[in-house]
Amino acid sequence: MLAFITKRLAQTIPVIFGITLVVFLIMQMVPGDSAQVLAGEGASKETIENLRHNLGLDRPLYVQYFDSIAGLFQGDLGISAKSHQPVINEITTRLPISVELAFYSTLITIILGMTAGIISAVRPYSVSDMSVMVVALLGISFPSFWLGLILMYIFSVELQWFPVSGWDSVKHMILPAFTLGASGAAIVARMTRSSMLEVVRQDYIRTARAKGIRGYLVIYKHALRNALIPVITVVGLQFGALLGGTVLIESVFAINGLGRLIVESIRMRDIPMVQGGILVASLVFVIVNLFVDILYRFFNRRIDLN
Amino acid sequence: MAQEKVLEINQLKTYFHTKRGIGKVVDGIDLTLHKGETLGIVGESGCGKSMTSLSVLQLVPDPGKIVEGSVRLNNEELVGKSEKQMRNIRGNQISMIFQEPMTSLNPVISVGEQIAETIREHQGLNRKQAFQKSIEMLKLVGIPSPEKRAKQEPFQLSGGMRQRVMIAMALACNPEVLIADEPTTALDVTIQSQILKLMKNLQKKLKMGIIFITHDLGVVAETCDRVAVMYAGEIVEYSTTEELFRHPKHPYTKGLLQSLPKLYEDQEELQAMEGSIPSPFKEHQGCKFTDRCPIAEDSCHQIHPDLKMSSDHSYQVRCLFYQEEKELTKGMSSV
Ligand SMILES: Nc1ncnc2c1ncn2[C@@H]1O[C@H](COP(=O)(O)OP(=O)(O)OP(=O)(O)O)[C@@H](O)[C@H]1O
Ligand SMILES: [Mg+2]
């Protein structure tokens, strides 16, 4: 187990380097640079050249890249081209909001998804199963920003149960978290169902019944524990998708998270900010993946060895 | 031996209703198990041995159903009992050991807990007492350092050990009937004989009746008092083990015995019986064995033979041509 964790940790190092390189190169390909944006429309060529020099944009690409890597190791992500403040400052105020949103969404994904999946699996092909599966299919098919707009219209505008936007109280968080978690919940529900149906056919379930164990214990103790092992991976993968989703959802609900920061910065051509934002988001993704892998391995060790 | 009946199966029929039609998987079985006795059920793969035993516990998987017949435990009818009533019997009065030790234990629950939960369910002991008892059970089935093993999960145990755990689990509540469905098939020969010995010893100690399901006649000779030979959902021969081996009567039994390797005879090759068991979904008019029977005649295709009891009630045979005293003179030589 320890060997596995060490190996898995070592594997993340090249991944992180790869990410920095890709992010850097993509930013180079984007037409227009920070200097142009900062100088504003109608600025003279000279002003722009001067700005470029000041920002270090006239140096060779590899120098710029290694410079940014060197900065990264010191927690320095550069200076925002817009606000002239360190990028890291802005990110550290925005990141917790996105993490919070992702956390609540994951909670909804897990609780809603697993509950629905179990309800389905307990009586397969029944009315309750069919209804859950239809809703799940819709949940997967709806684009999240669209679902967000619909929910906002119904619950915030018409019913006025929840505020339209912002991020101050639990009330603010419910709609965005639900919107973001919905498709994940649908996927987890389908996964839980098929995994449960697979598990209840196993020999050890027959053994449990032959011992006279009561029905709900057979389901919750004997079947569910085994059925959830593959679901863990799905939840992990969903978390990745969820981070991507925050970009859209934060824009829809006007939440000042990291996703929205990145979108705004792209519009401003604030390259250091975009680069920093994507880098931090990717790091979070890599770390979560690492964690899920280890967790899965831990739960799965007894099955591997069979 | 005081012949006190503990389990009686009468005209048990378990059918599978599917799109393909009706599968008569268990088609009118009669069996009696006495206290402290071992009754063998032998037959080829697919003849309905497991479904018979699952029918006793009413754990036949969908779309199978018991459509007729009765199963009596100490004269109490089990067919038609509610799920809750059956739960009190399963693992308590009637226990079962399955043929796959590798997959029959839950991979994510410690073996001690898997034994203990049965004890809690049926004997109302608390967690600590039940776990203590599970350790005793592990000791009883000969698992070394049971305190340590109880806390381990199945993947940490070998196949033979897991089958011992299954036995410990089945015996934890002192059942009157133990159904062992090919408990040693998946194990290698030395482990197999250890497990058989263990079961024999425990049977003496606990005085339970055992239904021993196998397709290995060698194991039957070693362990069973009486034997029922099954073919395609029916019993074709039913007698004491000694009688069965000395004077097999049904051509199917003879075939099975001939396919056994004999050490003392100069046999060139192992004779496996040709052909296979007919599908339970196929409609049958005559005897189900005709396709493979060396002595079948036209009448066999028309008439379905009854299971005939010998005049001294010592054995039963299902064959049109079988007559008492006179051995079958046609076709096969007696073994
Ligand atoms: N779910 C099912 N649907 C239809 N038929 C089934 C189903 N399960 C089992 N059967 C049929 O029941 C018959 C008897 O099966 P059973 O498991 O009792 O055989 P067995 O004698 O125990 O064989 P083995 O020695 O391989 O364990 C088989 O012929 C099989 O075709
Ligand atoms: Mg079987």
pLDDT, tens digit (0-9, with 9 covering 90-100), for A267-296: 887 888 888 888 888 888 888 888 888 887
**Which of B49, B100, B219 to probe ligand 1 with, by most ligand atoms within 8 A of CB?**
B49
Please name every residue paired with B179 in a beta bridge, in sequence order, or none if there are none. Answer: B96, B211
CB B241 within 8 A of CB B210: no
Q: How many angstroms away from the CA of A208 is the closest CA of chain B?
A: 8
What residues of chain A score a pLDDT lower than 50? 304-306
User: Domains plus CATH for chain A?
Assistant: 2-87 (no CATH), 88-299 (1.10.3720.10)
**Three-state secondary-structure class, residue B317:** strand
Q: Is any ligand 1 atom within 6 A of the Cβ of residue B65? A: no
The residue contributing the CA closest to ligand 1 atom 28 is: B46
Q: Could you report the predicted ipTM of this complex, rounded to two decimals?
A: 0.86
The answer to whether A211 contacts B91, with C-beta atoms less than 8 Å apart, is yes
pLDDT at B2: 54
CB A122 within 8 A of CB A216: no
**Three-state secondary-structure class, residue A39:** helix
Q: Which of residues 275-304 of A touch B (CB under 8 A)?
A: 299, 301-303
Query: What is the rounded distance in angstroms from the CA atom of residue B229 to the CA atom of residue B317?
Result: 10
Q: Is any ligand 1 atom within 6 A of the Cβ of residue B16? A: yes
Q: What CATH number belongs to B1-85+214-335? A: 3.40.50.300
**Three-state secondary-structure class, residue B20:** coil
Greatest extent of chain A over all pairs of C-alpha atoms, in Å: 86
Query: What is the rounded distance in angstroms from the CA atom of residue A148 to the CA atom of residue A249?
Result: 7
CB within 8 A of A73, min separation 6: which ones?
none
Q: Which residue's structure tokens are 């990028």?
A: A87
Q: Tokens for B266? A: 């100069």
**Three-state secondary-structure class, residue B238:** strand
Query: What is the rounded distance in angstroms from the CA atom of residue A108 to the CA atom of residue A116?
Result: 11
Q: Which residue's structure tokens are 């069979």?
A: A306
**Closest to B92 (Cβ–Cβ): which among A207, A209, A212?**
A212
* Closest residue in chain A to residue B88, using alpha carbons only: A212
CB B13 within 8 A of CB B27: yes
Q: Is any ligand 1 atom within 6 A of the Cβ of residue B183? A: no
Q: ∠ CA A212-B72-B93 to the nearest 5 degrees?
A: 30
Query: What is the rounded distance in angstroms from the CA atom of residue B108 to the CA atom of residue B239?
Result: 43
Q: How many angstroms away from the CA of A197 is the closest CA of chain B?
A: 13
**Closest to B121 (Cβ–Cβ): which among A202, A207, A212?**
A212
Q: How far is CA B292 from the centre of its chain?
A: 24
Residues of A whose CB is below 8 A from B95: 210-211
pLDDT at B272: 62
The residue contributing the CA closest to ligand 1 atom 19 is: B46
Q: Which residues of B touch A (CB under 8 A)?
A: 57, 59, 83, 86-92, 95-96, 98, 100, 102-109, 117-118, 121-122, 153-155, 166, 169
pLDDT at B322: 82
Query: What is the rounded distance in angstroms from the CA atom of residue B174 to the CA atom of residue B196?
Result: 18
pLDDT at B190: 84
- Whole-model pTM: value is 0.81
Q: Tokens for B307? A: 């299971």
Mutate to test the interface with A, among B89, B106, B118 (most CBs of A within 10 A): B106
Strands annotated E in B174-284 = 177-181, 209-214, 226-231, 234-240
Q: Which own/partner contact pairs does B72-77 have at CB distance under 8 Å and 24+ positions apart?
A: B72/B7, B72/B8, B72/B9, B72/B10, B73/B6, B73/B7, B73/B176, B73/B177, B74/B6, B74/B176, B75/B5, B75/B8
Query: What is the rounded distance in angstroms from the CA atom of residue B126 to the CA atom of residue B51?
Result: 34
Q: Are strands B38-42 and B226-231 parallel, antiparallel or unpaired?
A: parallel
Q: How far is CA B25 from the centre of its chain?
A: 15
Q: How many CB pairs under 8 A join A and B?
A: 80
The answer to whether A207 contacts B98, with C-beta atoms less than 8 Å apart, is yes
pLDDT at A130: 93
Amino acid at B230: M
CB atoms within 10 A of CB A65: 16
Q: Tokens for A235? A: 């939840």
CB B184 within 8 A of CB B136: no
CB A72 within 8 A of CB A20: yes
Cα-based torsion angle of the residue sequence A60, A64, A65, A68 in order, rounded to the nearest 10 degrees? 170
pLDDT at B127: 95
Please choose, from the candidates B165, B144, B146, B143, the residue with its C-alpha nearest in 3D space to the C-alpha of residue B154: B165
Residues of B whose CB is below 8 A from A227: none
pLDDT at B333: 43
- Is the previous residue joined to B63 through a cis bond, with omega within 30 degrees of 0? yes
pLDDT at A62: 86
pLDDT at B50: 94
CB A189 within 8 A of CB A113: yes
Q: Tokens for B289? A: 């064995």
pLDDT at B310: 86
Query: What is the rounded distance in angstroms from the CA atom of residue A135 to the CA atom of residue B144?
Result: 53
Please choose, from the candidates A261, A230, A259, the residue with its C-alpha nearest in 3D space to the C-alpha of residue A242: A259
CB A90 within 8 A of CB A273: yes
Q: Tokens for B9? A: 């199966």
The residue contributing the CA closest to ligand 1 atom 18 is: B48
pLDDT at A305: 43
Please choose, from the candidates B95, B105, B99, B121, the residue with its C-alpha nearest in 3D space to the C-alpha of residue B50: B99
**Closest to B122 (Cβ–Cβ): which among A212, A217, A301?**
A212
B52 Cα nearest atom in ligand 1: 18
The answer to whether A302 contacts B166, with C-beta atoms less than 8 Å apart, is no
- Going from the C-alpha of A103 to that of each of A239, A285, B195, the distances in angstroms are 9, 13, 52
Query: What is the rounded distance in angstroms from the CA atom of residue A233 to the CA atom of residue A292?
Result: 7
CB B24 within 8 A of CB B280: yes
pLDDT at B39: 96
Mean pLDDT by 10 residues, chain B (335 residues): 84 93 93 95 92 95 93 95 95 92 90 96 94 94 94 91 92 94 84 87 90 90 94 95 93 86 54 79 88 88 89 88 62 43
Is the Cα dihedral A143, A146, A148, A151 positive or negative? Answer: negative
Query: What is the rounded distance in angstroms from the CA atom of residue B320 to the CA atom of residue B334?
Result: 17
Please choose, from the candidates B224, B170, B160, B225, the residue with its C-alpha nearest in 3D space to the C-alpha of residue B202: B170
Q: How many angstroms away from the CA of B217 is the closest CA of chain A?
A: 25
Q: Phi, psi (5° rounding) for residue A203?
A: -60, -35
The residue contributing the CA closest to ligand 1 atom 8 is: B61
The answer to whether B95 contacts A221, with C-beta atoms less than 8 Å apart, is no
Q: Tokens for B64? A: 């199978």
Amino acid at A203: D
